A and B are shown apart, each in its own frame.
Chain A
């Protein structure tokens, strides 16, 4: 098993294996996500206080978990780049950034749209919301840095450092609702004393979270495949230019 995992570090082997896996993962993520959302819409009852706006929770909560999940993937990839120089670590980092940024913006916008009818405001500068906004800005900075530096190896090292600098913000997001008295409610799923949510809402929420995670992982693998191909194109383009140069010099 370990030998098989190690063999996947080779980009060509990764392309081969994921080429087989990806269609199955895509179908599975679509089925689980749509199944979870259908359960949420047609099976879960309206909340006794929030009414039907609770349906926004089934988008907002999985997106919020995933924006942190993808940042952690980027953090491990950054360590892979800086410490172990793993061949796929840079590729993983680059592919994860737009996915994490997308889930962060979904989390922010759906949270605002949920907050307006429930709290009477779209936005409040409280600990949770502000730290998620900072996460989105960090994602934007990382995406800009990837574009700013042409050499992918140099870009990966710079992005790795920026990613590691941003890690404390993930801790702040997680504990902000405990450290500060905020408008945003505290955790109601992952708690020491167990979930406080009724099973009729908790189970569809967990299925949605699994579906969104599968979707995110599928997109990450697809993004990694595109990035590996881009690097092959870059290498071959440089090789072609060198050959043309050499041919020009000899003629």
Chain B
């Protein structure tokens, strides 16, 4: 396990889920694995927040779900980005970039 783990700021989990679904549709477990891999274990998603988040995104119409056979031939619930979700991802990404750049600039300036 990694030494340093950080709690995700509010709302960023939704952004990360959208991002990880932007390449291909995935099921819940794969999403958590992927987030963990890419972040090199720094981001560890609590399942307690992953599934409510997925349900919330589905309700907003940003992702949609479908049951289909997975690699080990069992049915799994796959989540997929919708067009609205893709738009949301772009918007959220842009605003996140601006925010982190701005905060970085403020932190550097001192």
A and B associate = no
